[in-house]
Structure formats: C-alpha cells, structure tokens
Amino acid sequence: MAASKKISAPVEKKINTWSGRFSEPVSQLVQRYTASVSFDRRLAEYDIQGSLAHARMLAATDIIGADDLAAIQLGLDQIREEIRSGEFVWLLELEDVHLNIEKRLTALIGDAGKRLHTARSRNDQVATDIRLYLRASIDDIVSLIHAMQQALLDLAEKHTDTVMPGFTHLQVAQPVVFGHHLMAYFEMLKRDVERLSDCRRRVNRLPLGAAALAGTSYPIDRDRVAQELGFDGVCENSLDAVSDRDFAIEFCAAAALIMTHLSRLSEELILWMNPSFGFIDLADRFCTGSSIMPQKKNPDVPELVRGKTGRVNGHLVALLTLMKAQPLAYNKDNQEDKEPLFDTVDTLIDTLRIYADMLTGVRVNREAMYKAAMRGYATATDLADYLTKKGLPFREAHETVAQAVRFADDSGRDLSALTLPELQQFSPLIANDIFAVLTLEGSVSSRNHIGGTAPAQVSAAIARARKCLS
C-alpha cells in the first residue's frame, strides 16, 4: 500500500474486551495466564489470509456491503504491513492474535472492522489458522526432507563398493557396502514423506463456517472460502471442526518418527566417529571442543539431534494428553496446542536443514571400515550358504561353520586366511572355489537381488531413488 494512503489511528491503550457481561476485570496474573498472543502472533499472516477470504465471502453473499469489504481489505493490508515491519503493537490485554488484529482493524476503519466477525467465532478462526500454518509447514518440511535425501544419495553414490561391517546386536554380522547402509535411511525418509503427505490431506479441510460450535444462521458459502484458501473441502461437522486437533497430533506423530530416524542415524555417526571405530569424520563446523580436554572433538550436532528427539516425542504426548478428556466442542485447553506444535515444526526444520549440510561434510575412512569388517568372521554365513548349495542341510552347515570359526579364532586368523586343507577338516565339500566366497567383496557381490547389498544392486537402488526424487 502506498504510504500516502495509510490510514492513521492511535493504538488504544484502554481495553475492555468482554464489556457488559463482566463486573470486574481479570487480575494481571489471570490475564497473563490466559493470553496466547506472545506465541500465537506467529499465526498473524494466516489469520489475515483467513479473514480476507471470510470477508470476501460475506460480501459475495450480501451479508456485508461492498464498501465494508473494501475498507476491510485496505485495513487488513495495512495491518499485514505493520506486522511485517515490526511496528504493530501487540497487546497482552487483547489476549490473542485474533483480537489484536480485529481491534486494530476497528481502530483503523471503524464499523466495517466490527462487521468482519459476523458469522464467525474465534473457535473456527483459530482452527483455520492452525491448519493453514501446518499445511505450509508440511510443505517446507517435505522439501527439506527431499534435500536431505539428495545428500544421502550423493554420499551413497560414492560408496557403492565401500565395504563395512553390517551389525546385528552391534556385533559384526555380515559385510555390507556403506552406500547400502545409507540407502536404508533414504527409505525411512521416503516413508516419512508419505506419512506427511497423507496427513496433509486431513489438515487441508476448512473449519470456518462452524462458528462457535453449531454453525451460523447467516447464508454463508463455505465452499467459496475453502476454494479461495486452497482447501480440498470443508470440515463436515461443526462440532468436530472447532474441537478436534487430531490433524496436529498426526503431524506430531509423523514428526516424532522423522526425529527417531534422524536420531538413529545420529547415534551411528557418533559411534562411527569414535576413534575405536574411526569410520568417519564430521566436518569441524558440526563439532565442538572441550573446555578442559584439548584433544577433544565432540559430535555435538548429532548428539543434539538425538536429544531433541526426546522433546519432539514429548510434544506428541502433550497433544494426545491435551485432547484425551475434552468434551465436545471447543475448550480453552486447545490454546495449549500451539507451543508444542510450533516447537515441533521449528525443531524439525532446523534439524533437517543442518543434517543435509552435515552429510555433505562426512569424510569416510574406507580402510577402517574394511578392517572392521575383517574382524568378527563376517563371511561365516557365506561359508554356510556355500556348503548348503553343495547339498548339506543348512542347520548342519551352520554347525560346521561354527566349528571352523572356533578354529580360526583359536589361531587368531580370519576364515579367509585358513588354508584349504585346514578348511577341509570341517567338510570334504569345501574346494578351492571357497576363497571367492570368503572374501568381503565376494560376500557383498553375491547378495545380488533387489534390496541386497551387491554394489550393482545399490547403484540400481540409487538410480531408482534419483528418479523418484526428480
């Protein structure tokens, strides 16, 4: 809006929101206790967007006049600018974002401002605001997950033949390639995106029109508002529309799972960076030192991701608990939905942004990974499979190999370092072709089916993943 057209009105300091019905004002403590403006002001843009759509519908259905609509639009545009520039004065006395904006609108444009709330309640208004906010947040989060998936793919691509020990029970189990290990996280994140997209469909419904709880006697056009705001449809029961926050709970559940996945990866990065593993190093910008031990380089960022997962899980439990005993319809309890939800979104966004960057700075020590895979008889299963393919029942093969491992262990060598006659003591089925099977490379290459760790399969998985991201 051009500065010359700016409407001027002083900020009213004396406020009496509930007027005639009340004989005494609330105490300052109660005012602070019940107010949400300190945190719900971040919904302001969505509140204005919702109000504009509502006002246009009111005018289109002749519930308010065209002149009122024009004034409301001018006033709300100006308020949006005031908020963006930081000059808007937020008042605790006005409780929440909705009343702050409405009061300012009335100060700027007079009676037309008072007409905006026709056929509406803060109950359907706030439910609409949160849904608009959450829809935008989901879209941001999905893009950030995609960026992290790209980073995983780029790293995995460089390591389709980097052998490392695969673990079960954190004990060396079978060799895998590092790219395969990373692609496991790609799959987890893929499901996370699916969950968010599914949740988005239920977020994207319009509560406005439900008014306080029962609907409204005005001839409103809900579909029009839904369409203007980009919703897929309207909430079909007014009581449900103003009271349930299941869409936010679902989102928090999806967020908790994302953080859980990132926490698992963090735990691995921390282990791998420990000198006893020495598999990777993280770029210095994600680590800190110790104030007492000069040699230390601590993986603070992954540790914090692991820690912050607890807080996001906590928000999910907070929202479930918030909802569990609420009778229909709206209750003030619902005001408590915002901080957990906002903090979940903020934590997730920061974590994902930092993670994509951190993955690009991972330095891999191939030799350390290879050496670790050589310890722990990672190809024992390959020897058992070899014997089984030559006709020995698998359970017998399992026992035969257990004895060979014991022998190798006693002589301090890997299975592949035993001589042919040594191996043949355990089974006459063993021939010279066994050595191709007992090497780490032979072992990973033999798992050559979709989902297996053979380098060719990992490359194919990366290619499929790139296609699904583009």
Task: Kindly list the residues in this chain that would bind ligand ARG in the complex (CB under 6 A).
Answer: 36, 40, 96, 122-123, 126, 332, 334-335
Structure tokens at 186: 């790609």
Three-state DSSP class for residue 184: helix
Report which DSSP code applies to 111: H
User: 38, 197, 290, 411: which one is catalytic?
Assistant: 290
* Nearest distance, CB of residue 95 and ligand ARG, angstroms: 6
The answer to whether the beta carbons of residues 418 and 424 sit under 8 Å apart is: no
* Nearest distance, CB of residue 345 and ligand ARG, angstroms: 16
Q: Residue 338: what residue type?
A: K
Whichever of 128 and 416 has its CB closer to ligand ARG, that residue is 128
Find the helix or strand (DSSP H, E) in which 364 lies.
Answer: strand 363-364
Handedness of CA 224, 230, 233, 234 (dihedral sign): negative
User: 85, 169, 276, 291: which one is catalytic?
Assistant: 169
β partners of residue 167: 172
Q: Residue 127: what residue type?
A: A
Q: How far apart are CA 276 and CA 278, in angstroms?
A: 6
Whichever of 48 and 437 has its CB closer to ligand ARG, that residue is 48
Whichever of 212 and 469 has its CB closer to ligand ARG, that residue is 212
Is 197 in the active site?
no
CA dihedral 168, 171, 174, 178 (to 10 degrees): 80
* Nearest distance, CB of residue 281 and ligand ARG, angstroms: 47
For 168, counting Cβ atoms within 10 Å of its Cβ (0-12 exposed, 13-18 middle, 19+ buried), the class is exposed
Whichever of 97 and 373 has its CB closer to ligand ARG, that residue is 97
Structure tokens at 205: 């419904």
* Nearest distance, CB of residue 256 and ligand ARG, angstroms: 23
Whichever of 106 and 123 has its CB closer to ligand ARG, that residue is 123
Q: How far apart are CA 170 and CA 272, in angstroms?
A: 12
* Nearest distance, CB of residue 241 and ligand ARG, angstroms: 13
Is 159 in the active site?
no
The answer to whether the beta carbons of residues 149 and 237 sit under 8 Å apart is: no
* Nearest distance, CB of residue 330 and ligand ARG, angstroms: 6
Find the helix or strand (DSSP H, E) in which 175 lies.
Answer: strand 171-177
Whichever of 134 and 397 has its CB closer to ligand ARG, that residue is 134
Tell me which residues are annotated as active site: 169, 290
